[in-house]
Each structure stands twice: as structure tokens, then as C-alpha cells.
A and B are shown apart, each in its own frame.
Chain A
Amino acid sequence: MEHLPVLQIVIPLLAAPVCVLLRHHATVRTFAVLVAWTCLGIALTLLAEVREGGTISYHLGNWAPPLGIEYRVDLLNAYVLVIVSAIGAVVMPFGFGTPEPGLRDGQHHLYYAAFLLCLTGLLGITITGDAFNVFVFLEVSSLAAYTLISLGQHRRALTAGFSYLIMGSIGGTFILVAIGMIYMMTGTLNMADIAERLPPVLGTRTIWMALAFLIIGVSIKLAVFPLHQWLPNAYSYAPPVVSAFLAATATKVSYYVLVRAIFTLFGAAFVFETMGMQRLLMPLALLAMFLGSIAAIYQEDLKRVLAYSSIAQIGYMTLGLSFANEDGLTGGLVHLFNHALMKGGLFLVVAGIVYKLGSSAIGDLRGIGRKMPVTMAAFVIGGLSLIGVPGTVGFISKWYLVLAALDSGSYVVAFMILASSLLAVVYVWRIVEVMYFQGDGESREGLSDPPLSMLIPTWVLIGGTIYFGFTTELTAGTASEIARMLLEGAK
């Protein structure tokens, strides 16, 4: 049991080459599903252990930190680990028994290998307590993600993957430069150690530059508003299941890195009070909320609508961060979980539609509400959650964000959160209208819901958006505990 933190990474990492060796389609698939479930099991055990016994520190190869690499699991890591591995565990068995869309024959083992490597990288970024390790795992997950995206059916998937590769590598290199500058001033790579040694040198220009490089590098990966250009194409041309996985995990892990850097490494007092970062983050977050939602209204393809809506939702998360108070941070962190649930669920709905229709253009969706009732019901619930209707998880996140805005006295921001939710009503309603109230349905003979192997994962996530909309103890409770921990540590 004491080796759980490293097993979390080693199991999917070693499973990836095993997938390549197994080759046989059904075997590889079963194997990948089992690995993803094992990861989830480990993540849940870690969360339970952290809740009981506090922070776990694992020394890789038994070399004591700060010289050796340390895997440090506190409540924040454990929470993100559970989110990432849970999404992996739900998405991996999606469409079991049906051919994966967009793959040439005999490529399945490579697809699952890339999938598991991406999972490894994301879990690795989250669990490690070593700054350079973050960079390495970031590149592992990114390289796997570029591969997965360029596997999409349409040839534009290739250009989307390529431009993501360019943007992502620039972001990664920025993070590398930032880590180098921090190492210059502190002489250590262990995050806990950096946090101790940074305060005396916070006034130096090197550290200011390090902060700038780090924030910009992570923002590219997170797709914070003006740096989001790679995201819509990447999500809309990637195979739908890959979009579901990446939309629900990749940006969330980048958000984790941002939170970790601001609150654990540099300290909130330095970032917000000395550098005034909220004056930059808050307007950008508000712009993202509005421009993302407005762009979503004008898209002609369901996947693009969801992609632009992701940019708006990332805006909500960075907004929560920029308040730098307990409610705001709780809102941001709980939205991390909630957005993973609903966006993952919605992209799985799209994957089901693409499997049945071969298209996700909004014009092709006429009248399918009556032909695919179970799938479309999932879409409606997911859509309501994006809007933030009470009884869904979206409401919980926005509740905390509005509280935070009122708390810091910015009534305008509170109003803008509500106003941008109205824009979400427009883009969700537009699709619901096409699905249920347009078309006579006659041209849709023989169209039915996708097989159970697709419906169950979809409904696990969509059901989660309702369940956690009512039982907030696990999500909002944990998130506010983390927020308290981070803000106390920052003092």
C-alpha cells in the first residue's frame, strides 16, 4: 500500500507498451479498460488515505527529498487525481464492442497506447512534487494528445493537431524556462523546498520573469482567453471520444498547475498583492465567459459549440481563482470537477450521435430528439448544467462564484456571471430546438439510440451532474477544504 503513489503512474505507463505488444483488438481494449479502472481505484484509495492521515510523501527510489524526486499527495492532488482517473475509467470502455471511429485497420493497439500515455502524463503532472517532473509529464501527456487529436477522421484533424503541437510546445518551453529561472534563484526543484526558499528572493527580477513565463506557459495549455486558438479545432476534429477525454481532463490538469504555482510556489500574497495578477486574470476571465459563449452561439457544428463553451467555462474557473478568496477558489475548484462531468458527458453524447449519424453538424440533427430519446435526454440535462439550472452541478459552481463576487464587493462581476449564463441558454436552446422541434422525423427511418456500451458511460457522467447537484458534500465540501488549506498555506 505504501507504494500506491508511484503505482498510480507506473501502471498506465507500463501498460502502454504492453498494449502495443498485445495487438489483438478485443484483448487490448479489455486490458486498457482494466488499467483505467485500476488507476481510478488507486486514486480513490489515495484520496481516502489523505483525508484520514494527511499529506502523503513518497520518495522515488528511496532518495530523500529535496535531492530525490518526491511524489507529494495532499488533498488538492488527490482530488484532481480522482477526477482525471474517473474520466479515464468512464471514457475508456465507451462503445465497447463497436469499432472505434476514425481509425485505420490495425491501429487500435497504438490508439490505446497513446490514450494510456496521455492518462499517465496527466496523472503524473498532478501527483509529482518536483517542478522538473511537471515539465516531463506535461510533454508526455501533450505528445500523446497531439497524436490522438490527429487521428480524427477529417483531414483537418491533422492541421488541428499540428497547430496544437506548435502552441503546446511553446507553452511547454515557457514552463521549462520558468522552472530554470526558479532553479537559478533557489537551487532546488522540489516544490515544497522552493516554497520555503522563494520568499527572500521574491523581489528579484528573475523571479518576476519566472512568474510571467510560468503563467503564460500554463495559460496556453489551459486555453485562457487570448491563448485559446488551438482549442476549438483540436476538440472539433479529434475523434469524439478523445475530445470527451481531453475536454474533461487536460485543461483541468493545467488549471491545477496554475493553482499549485500561484498558491503553493509563489504564494497568493506575492502573486495577487505585489504583482496584481488579478487585474490581468479577471478581465480575461470575463472576456472568455462572454466571447466564448457568443462564439458558441454562432457555430454550425455541435462539437464546435461545445469547444467554444469550454473556453467560456475555463473563464469561470480562472475567475474563481482571480478572486483569491475562499468562496472564489472553492467555486473554481468545484467547477473543475463539475465541468469535467458535464463536458465529458456532453462530448460522449456527441460521440454517440457521430456513431449513428456520421456527422455532428447542427443541420443534420433535425428531429433526432424523437429517434434517440435516451441520448438526447442526456444532452438536455448536460445542457441545463452548462447553463447552471438549480439541481445540476452547474448551479453549485455558479453559486460559489456569485458568493465570491458579492464577498469581494464586485456586484458588476456577480451580474456578469448571471448574464453570461443567459448566453449559455441561447446556445443550448438552439440545439435543443433543432433536435426536438424541427424536421418531421420521416427521413430518419431506422435511426435509434446507440448501443448500451455507449449509453452507460454517457449516463454515468450525466447522472453524476444531477447526483452531485444535490449531494455537494463530496465535491464542494472537499473543494472548500482545499481552498482553506491553500489560503492558509499562503499566509
Chain B
Amino acid sequence: MDLLGLWNYWAVIVLMMIGLYIVIARDNLVKKMMGLSIFQVSAIMLYVSMGKVEGGTAPILPADPSESDVLYSNPLPHVLMLTAIVVGVATTALGLAIVVRIYDAYGTVEEDEIGAVDRQES
């Protein structure tokens, strides 16, 4: 069936929604950060799936030049995702670094407790 045949796109949507749900529903800032990572990974999966050609091999020139009918996967989306992975790692690192600073300043990483501290102060 066509719908099941696109299962990797279903996986993208499921991952994206899991990530978004964690970001919205969790109070713990570290968990929020992990949710954000899952959310970003879903976009990476989308790109990787679209570059894959069924039966296609890695886009490397064959040793024997007469083999001209080799089917390649599209390498471009995969290469783009190397950049997106770097961006994702940088975002996670920066986010966690800010969480560490928040823990130093507030003594907690729970959003509701931080809110309570802020309200007490003002």
C-alpha cells in the first residue's frame, strides 16, 4: 500500500511530533533540550529519505568506466545534512551550556520552580 510504502516519512512525522510534544510538555529544561534534538533529527531523516533512490548505490565513480548504467542515490541532501547535524550539535551544546548557567543561578532546572523564584523576587 502506498501509505505504508512511505513509512520513513511517517517516521519523520512521528519523531517531529514526539520532539515538539516534549518541548511543550516537559518542565525540565534538560528534557526540553533533548526534545528539541529529536525534533531536529526528524528534519535530518526527511532529507536523508528524499535523497535515497531505491536500489541506488553510493555515488562513487565505478572502477570500470564501461559500467555506465549504475544507479546512484542523490548525494546532495545527505551532504546538506552533515551541515544540519553540526548545527544541531551546536544548538544542543549551547542550550545545555545555558542550562548549566541557569542551574548555577537558580539552583534548579525545573521551569515551574524557576518561575516561582522569579515571582518571589518581584
Chain A interface residues toward B at CB < 8 A: 132, 135-136, 139, 143, 146-147, 150, 155-156, 158-159, 161-162, 165-166, 169-170, 172-173, 176-177, 180, 183-184, 189
Q: How far is the CA of A166 from the CA of B94 in the complex (A)?
A: 11
Contact with A158, one of B84, B91, B101 (Cβ below 8 angstroms): B101
> How many Å from the CB of B93 to the closest CB on chain A?
9
> Which residues of chain B from 61 to 94 have a CB within 8 Å of any chain A CB?
76-77, 80, 83-84, 87, 90-91, 94
> How many Å from the CB of B49 to the closest CB on chain A?
10
Contact A156 B47 (CB under 8 A): no
Contact A173 B98 (CB under 8 A): no
Contact A170 B36 (CB under 8 A): yes
B50 within 8 A of A: yes
Q: How large is the interface on B (under 10, 10 to 19, 20 to 34, 35 or more residues)?
A: 20 to 34
B18 within 8 A of A: no
Query: Chain A residues near B46 (CB, 8 Å)?
Result: 177, 180
Query: Chain B residues near A169 (CB, 8 Å)?
Result: 36, 39-40, 91, 95
Query: Chain B residues near A176 (CB, 8 Å)?
Result: 43, 84
Contact A180 B77 (CB under 8 A): yes
> How many Å from the CB of B85 to the closest CB on chain A?
12
Query: Chain B residues near A155 (CB, 8 Å)?
Result: 102, 105-106
Contact A173 B29 (CB under 8 A): no
Q: Which residue of B lies closest to A213 (CB)?
A: B43
| Known contacts A136-B83, A155-B105; A165/B39 CB under 8 A | no
> How many Å from the CB of B113 to the closest CB on chain A?
12
Query: Chain B residues near A132 (CB, 8 Å)?
Result: 80, 83
Query: Chain B residues near A183 (CB, 8 Å)?
Result: 50, 77
Contact with A162, one of B47, B80, B95 (Cβ below 8 angstroms): B95
| Known contacts A136-B87, A180-B46, A180-B77; A166/B23 CB under 8 A | yes
Contact B47 A180 (CB under 8 A): yes
B114 within 8 A of A: yes
Contact with A along B12-36 (1 / 0, CB 8 A): 0000000010010000010010001
Q: How far is the CA of A215 from the CA of B91 in the complex (A)?
A: 22
| Known contacts A136-B83, A162-B98; A184/B29 CB under 8 A | no
B2 within 8 A of A: no
Contact with A159, one of B36, B43, B102 (Cβ below 8 angstroms): B102
Query: Chain A residues near B54 (CB, 8 Å)?
Result: none
Q: What would 11 more interface pairs be, CB under 8 Å, given A159-B114, A169-B36?
A: A136-B83, A143-B90, A143-B94, A146-B98, A158-B101, A165-B98, A170-B39, A172-B87, A176-B84, A180-B50, A180-B77
Q: How far is the CA of A165 from the CA of B98 in the complex (A)?
A: 10
Query: Chain B residues near A147 (CB, 8 Å)?
Result: 94
Query: Chain A residues near B40 (CB, 8 Å)?
Result: 169, 173
> How many Å from the CB of B26 to the closest CB on chain A?
11
Query: Chain A residues near B91 (CB, 8 Å)?
Result: 139, 143, 165, 169
> How many Å from the CB of A123 to the closest CB on chain B?
18
| Known contacts A143-B90, A176-B43; A165/B95 CB under 8 A | yes
> How many Å from the CB of A236 to the closest CB on chain B?
13
In the complex, 13 of the A-B residue pairs with CB atoms within 8 angstroms, ordered by the A residue number, are: A146-B98, A150-B98, A150-B101, A158-B101, A162-B99, A165-B91, A165-B98, A169-B95, A176-B84, A180-B43, A180-B46, A180-B77, A183-B50
> How many Å from the CB of A29 to the closest CB on chain B?
24
Contact with B43, one of A136, A150, A165, A177 (Cβ below 8 angstroms): A177
Query: Chain B residues near A159 (CB, 8 Å)?
Result: 102, 114, 118
Q: Which residue of A lies closest to B47 (CB)?
A: A180
Listed from nearest, the 10 A-B pairs whose CB atoms lie closest are: A155-B105, A139-B87, A158-B102, A176-B43, A162-B98, A173-B43, A177-B43, A158-B101, A184-B50, A180-B47
Query: Chain A residues near B101 (CB, 8 Å)?
Result: 150, 158
> How many Å from the CB of B77 to the closest CB on chain A?
7
Q: How far is the CA of A155 from the CA of B102 in the complex (A)?
A: 8
> How many Å from the CB of A289 to the closest CB on chain B?
28
> How many Å from the CB of B95 to the closest CB on chain A?
5
